[in-house]
Structure 1
Amino acid sequence: MKQKIIIFSIFLTTCLQAFSQQLVVEIGKAITSFDYENSQGSQLDNLQSTNQNYMYVGYRTKVFKDFIFASLGTNYSTYGAIGSDNVLNNYFEWETSYLGLNVGLDFRIFKIKKINFYVKSMFSSEFIIQGTQTLNDTVYDLVGADDFDQTNYFFRAGTFIDYSISEHITLFFQYMGGKSKQLRSSVSNIDQEKLRLVSHNFGFGLFINLKP
């Protein structure tokens, strides 16, 4: 199934190149954390966020004049968190990498000379390609673990500004924040664990015009 998603995303973005107006390339830093609740409804007291990286490549095209744009692309994102349990003296650390397919809409709200201001929303479907959990001195592989090895649906919203460097290249700076849909737990009873991934992405990139 995962191989089919990769092939489909590559095929779809390749096909859209002929109809798209801009190639989008973006890199950045993400402040990530886990919204975790155990089967008793308690959260880890000392669960902290970590700094991670992400990359995005896609296509962007006009939907309505120069005000509404749609985008489609793929992202590589890492998520993580660290924490401890003061009662049992346990140390926890998670680091996971996901590959995703994204669709988005952005709206230009105003313009000052060459600078444009936008609001943006994006939905992504992501699956894990690498992940580890460290518990004290023991490291566990999360690929294949029920709570992580499943499709991760993520909704993000944010804003960005862009500045035209030339007729063909535009530089942009962006913030996007969001939280994933609750990951399904392997526990089947009512009082089961709850886990969501949280990220705040700060990035910059280029819009590259594909048509004159």
Structure 2
Amino acid sequence: MKKLYILLIIGNLFSFQANSQQLVLETGKAITSFDYKNSQGNQLDNLQSTNQNYMYVGYRTKIFKDFIHVSLGTNYSTYGAIGSDTSVNSYFEWETSYLGLNLGLDFRLFNIKKFNFYVKGTFSSEFIIQGTQTLNNTVYDLVGEDDFDQTNYFFRAGTFIDYPISENVKLFIQYMGGKSKQMRNSVSNSDQEKLRLVTHNFGFGLFIKLKS
């Protein structure tokens, strides 16, 4: 099923290429954390965010003059968190890697000389390709676990600034923040366990103009 999903991603990218104007390459750092509540509905204390990496490759085209653009691409992202429970003297850490399909829409607000300022929103559908949980000195594989091994949906919003460095290339810096849908649904009224991924992405990249 996952191999079919990857093929669909690649197929969508190539079918989109005919109408695309720019190749987008992006990388950066993501401050990630877990929004977690246990079965009693209480948040886990001492759960800290971690710095992770992400990459994105896609295509971008204008749909209304130079003000509104749509983009489609694939993203590879890592998410994680660390924490401890002093009451039972335990330490825990999560680190997960996801591959996803990303759809975005951006609007140019204004420009100052050659700098263009945009707001942007994205939706992505992601699935886990690798993940571990460390509990004290024991490491567990998260692939196949119900809480993580499911399609994960992200909504993000943010802003970016681009600047032309040549006739065909623009450099941009970007911030995007968001939260995933609930990764675990309650199975009964007494079970209030919930898990969401929270990210703050800080990145930079290139818009590369494609030939007609």
TM-score by length of 2: 0.97
Match of 1:193 in 2: 193
- 1:58 is aligned to 58
Q: Which amino acid aligns with 2:174?
A: Q
Q: How does 1:106-145 map to 2 (within 5 A)?
A: 106-145=106-145
Offset of residue 3 of structure 1: 1.3
Deviations, residues 126-164 of structure 1 (Å, cap 9, x unaligned): 000000000000000000000000000000000000000
Other-structure match for 2:41: 41
Aligned counterpart, 1:206: 206
Deviation at 1:184, TM superposition (A): 2.1
Counterpart residue type for residue 95 of structure 1: E
Taking the aligned partners of 1:192 and 1:138, their CA distance within structure 2 comes to 26
| Matches for 1:163-202 after TM superposition, within 5 Å | 163-185=163-185, 188-190=187-189, 191-202=191-202
Counterpart residue number, 1:2: 2
Q: What are structure 2's unaligned runs of at least 5 residues?
A: none
Q: Distance in 2 between matches of 1:78 and 1:189?
A: 31
What per-residue deviation string (whole Å, max 9, x for no partner) do you get for residues 161-212 of structure 1? 0000111000000000000000025x62222310000000000000000036
- Code of the residue aligned with 1:69 in structure 2: it is H
TM-score, normalising length from structure 1?
Answer: 0.97
- Determine the structure 1 residue equivalent to 2:159: 159
Report the residue type matching 1:60 in the other structure: R
The two structures, once aligned, show a CA RMSD in angstroms of: 0.9
Counterpart amino acid of residue 75 in structure 2? N
Contact 1:44 1:84 in 2 (8 A): no
Residue of structure 1 in register with 2:67 after alignment: 67
Q: What displacement does 1:113 show?
A: 1.3
Determine the C-alpha separation between the residues in 2 that align with 1:44 and 1:11. Answer: 41
For 2:184 and 2:46, the matched residues in 1 are separated by 23
> What is the percent sequence identity of the aligned residues?
78
Please give the secondary structure, in 2, of the residue aligned with 1:55: strand
Q: Is the 8 A contact 1:178 1:198 kept in 2?
A: yes
Which residue identity does 2:154 align to in structure 1? F
User: Which whole-Å deviations, capped at 9, do the CAs of 1:72-117 have from their partners, x for residues lacking one?
Assistant: 0000000000000111111010000000000010000001111100
Give the ranges of 4+ consecutive aligned residues of structure 1 lying more than 3 Å apart after TM superposition: none
- Given that 1:104 and 1:120 are in contact with CA atoms closer than 8 Å, whether structure 2 keeps it comes out as yes
Q: Aligned partners of 1:62 and 1:109: how far apart in 2?
A: 14
